[in-house]
Amino acid sequence: MHRFAKPSVFLKFTAPILPWLSVLTVILIAAGLYFSLIGSPVDYQQGHTVRIMYIHVPAAWMGLFCYVGMAICGAMSLIWKHPLADICARATAPVGATFTALCLITGSLWGEPMWGTWWVWDARLTSMLILLFLYLGYMALVNAFDDPERGSKAGSALALVGAVNVPIVKFSVDWWNTLHQPASIVRMDGPAIDPSMQLPLALMILGFTCYYLVVLILRVRLELNERRIRALHLSGMFDEHSTPAPPTEQSYDAGHNAEAKQ
Amino acid sequence: MTGFLAILQRDLRLALRQGADSVMVVAFFIVTTTLFPFGVGPEVNILARIASGVIWVSALLAAMLSLERVFQADYEDGSLELLTLSPVSLELLILGKVLAHWLTTGLPLIIAAPLMAVMLNMDQDGFAILMIAMLLGTPALSLIGAIGAALILGARRGGVLVSLLVLPLYIPVLIFGAGAVEAALLGISATAQLQIMAAILLLTLAAAPFATAHAVRQAME
Amino acid sequence: MADFSGSDLTCLRGERLVFGGLSFAAKSGDAVMLRGRNGAGKSSLLRLMAGLLAPRSGVLCWNGENINDDRTAHYARSQYLGHQDAIKPVLTVRDNLRLWGQLRGVRNLDAAIDEALVALQIHHLSRVTGRYLSSGQKRRTALARILIGQSDLWLLDEPTVGLDRESCAELAQLIAEFRARGGIVIYSTHVDLDVKNPTILDLDDFAIPMVEWLAEQDDLEDMTPAKGALSSQEAAQ
């Protein structure tokens, strides 16, 4: 476990996976898009609007999936003090937030022709909206510290607290909705889904998940490399104004100068 | 236990000497509530209909505003370091601080709430339930808020940040708190909502001190 | 007879390597003076010893037992004085001190506070609220805090800041008394504090060039050629 936590191991391990995963993502999404936009039948009730669902449902899935991922990373950082866990959680948040926002946008685009309104205070919509707020809170917290590591750690704690709260929020929103609005709204899961619709949906869900993995790996690599650059700057290796001296002595002195300037 | 009482006593004494804090929270609560009739119009029926929600939302905002100072002052003057380093468990000390925070903000809000309910023409059937619901809800707000207040220690723009973190987590308390009053006004038993609020309070009471202590220790590093 | 030791301590603050491979040992009655340039990690080491920070690697032991195994016991035996005085402006000197005594479960607290205030010659200020204290008086109040209750280890981070010459002499006297009782004092200072034969721990000796450390941690495995290229460049200069 900890062996894998070393940045160099992660970098080495992911380098060969990345191109394959990227190709797989492109294929899955391309195939998914073909089947959902052209290859699938038109719904007899919803017409072409049904095609929004092929984006909407995978996006909703990814929104939840990413949050669970963040919470697991938070737990790992708490229990094992795993440095990579914080970075992973941090890299996941913007992806999850984007998918959640995408889910809400496509949902309201679908709702306008179907329900005649852009937004209803339905339990599902509302809990997705709250999920988006949690993502935004996480990202704001993580970026609010001068020391990035402190930010990631605080974020991991928040992700865990949020994970405890998400079911409570979801459950209370359900309660609240049933109390005020009886189920008069057309439900997404009304008719059973036709097999011809299942295939594009499955392809899109897989494609989105792969896309997330690609972005995650890229972002973690970026963060690790940024850390190395910061570490090298701190070490004074790039300090051009240091006095000529034996190499080791020089970096030692420069390191102290860099520290003193902070 | 002496440690718990000691910190409680000190925080209460600080709040008293520094004064104004509790007064400001209540004043904020009253002013915010007063804004709603200007926004929705003075029609009595509408105001009576939204009274419970308005009171809860205002109470939520008022409780949140005072959160930042739970740990901030102690963090800045080094007291928090010493609290972390004291032989009494940090969780217990945090519980003491949260209780002090509730006594100086939550309790005054509960006392001010019926006044605002009268001004918003809320039906009298709801008063008792409103007070009970707030008695169960506001301690949970303080406990959840303490986690947020500890997480933002050392951050830039802490005050705005804490609201962004904490408000989504306050939603269940709002839903059931307003729901209980609503039920009472409709003449239905509000026991279910109150029981859930009690459950939320117990859950936060069990979990929040640990999460807060973890966040405080992190801030000390 | 107590002993406090640390072995192979490495400290990272944020992403900055402060020091590495640091070891020390102190016995009852010892004083350890920390020396080093700005940023050498004197404060970090003291925070590490107090248990506020966790070392990246290495262990701190009290009588051969890792302090992490029983944190409460370590907190109970040590007194930490940081850069800040932790004095509330609206509370009197006595009330400020009372909390810390109560948290340590000190019996006869009022007598103990009186004694500490007399020792630091600020007894006349006991009813004055924090906001009216000068910075030197605040520092003395903070020093009075560490006199309250039993302790075996003093960790003093720049205790002399804000103190005049006479107060420094008093502090040296307090330290001498504490050592005579078998206490261990570890302190950092920029002025000369008249402490008899302290062990000197120079943190500059434990500064590790970050590049070397990174390479050792095999964080930079794939960058070794780049590093080689750079050093040859430096050699060419």
ipTM higher than threshold 0.85: yes
Q: Angle at CA B195, nearest 5°, toward B151 and B140? A: 20
- Domains in chain A, number: 1
Q: How many residues would you count in chain C?
A: 237
- The amino acid at residue A170 is K
State the CB neighbour count (10 A cutoff) for residue B191.
11
Number of domains in chain C: 1
For residue A122, is it within any domain?
yes
Quick check: is A96 in a domain?
Answer: yes
Domain total of chain B: 1
Substitution target from C56, C203, C210 for chain A, most A beta carbons within 10 A: C210
- Name the residue in chain A with its Cα closest to that of C213: A235
What is the β-pairing status of strands C16-27 and C3-13? Answer: antiparallel
Q: Subunits that touch chain B (at least 3 Cβ pairs < 8 angstroms)? A: A, C
Nearest chain B residue to C50, by CA: B85
Q: Which residues from B are below 8 Å from A130, CB to CB?
A: 168, 171
* Distance separating alpha carbons of residues B111 and B92, to the nearest angstrom: 27
Q: Is B15 helix (H, G, I), strand (E, B) or coil?
A: helix
Min Cα–Cα distance to chain A from C183, Å: 33
Q: Is residue C83 part of a domain?
A: yes
| Contact criterion met (CB < 8 Å) for B2 and C105 | yes
Q: Give me the pLDDT at residue B135, please.
A: 94
Q: What confidence tens digit (pLDDT) does each residue in B64-111 have?
A: 888 888 898 899 999 999 999 999 999 999 999 999 999 999 999 999
**Alpha carbon B42 to chain centroid, angstroms:** 28
Would you give the DSSP letter of residue C25? E
Report the pLDDT value the prediction gives residue A25, as an integer from 0 to 100. Answer: 92
How do the pLDDT tens digits run along chain A, 262 residues long? 344 456 677 788 888 888 999 999 999 999 988 888 887 777 666 777 778 888 888 898 899 899 999 999 988 888 887 778 888 999 999 999 999 999 999 988 888 887 788 888 877 788 889 899 999 999 999 999 888 888 888 898 899 888 887 788 777 777 776 654 444 444 444 445 666 777 888 889 999 999 999 999 999 989 888 887 877 777 666 666 654 444 444 444 444 444 443 3
Chain A hits for C40, CB-CB cut-off 8 Å, are 256
Structural domain contains residue C236: no
How far is CA A229 from each of CA A120, B192, C224, rounded to the nearest angstrom? 48, 57, 14
What is the domain range of residue B67? 2-220
Count CB atoms within 10 A of the CB of residue B20.
Answer: 9
- pLDDT values of chain B reduced to their tens digit, one per residue, 221 residues: 788 999 999 999 988 888 777 888 999 999 999 999 999 888 888 888 889 899 999 999 998 888 888 898 899 999 999 999 999 999 999 999 999 999 999 999 999 999 999 998 888 888 899 999 999 999 999 999 999 999 999 888 777 889 889 998 999 999 999 999 988 888 888 888 899 999 999 999 999 999 999 999 988 88
Which band of pLDDT confidence, cut at 50, 70 and 90, is reported for residue C170? confident
Q: What is the pLDDT of residue A249?
A: 40
CA distance C165 to chain A (A): 28
Whether residues A7 and C219 touch (CB distance < 8 A) is answered with yes
What SS3 class is residue C129? strand
In a domain, A166, yes or no: yes
Q: Which residues of C touch A260 (CB under 8 A)?
A: 37-39
> At residue C87, does pLDDT exceed 80?
yes
At C186, is the pLDDT very low, low, confident or very high (cuts 50, 70, 90)? Answer: very high
Query: In this structure, are residues B166 and B64 in contact, taking their beta carbons and an 8 Å threshold?
Result: yes
Spatial neighbors of A136 by CB under 8 A, at least 6 apart, are A97, B164
In a domain, C8, yes or no: yes
Residue A7 inside a domain? The answer is no
* Cα–Cα distance, A85 to A91 (Å, whole number): 10
Q: Domain with C14 in it: what CATH number?
A: 3.40.50.300
Residue C214 pLDDT grade (very low, low, confident, very high; cuts 50, 70, 90): low
**CB A247 to CB C222 under 8 A?**
no
How far B201 CA sits from the closest chain A CA (Å)? 12
- Domain of A165 in residue numbering reads as 52-182+196-234
Name the residue among B156, B171, B207 with its Cβ closest to that of A169: B171
Residue in A144, A160, A175 closest to B156 by CB: A144
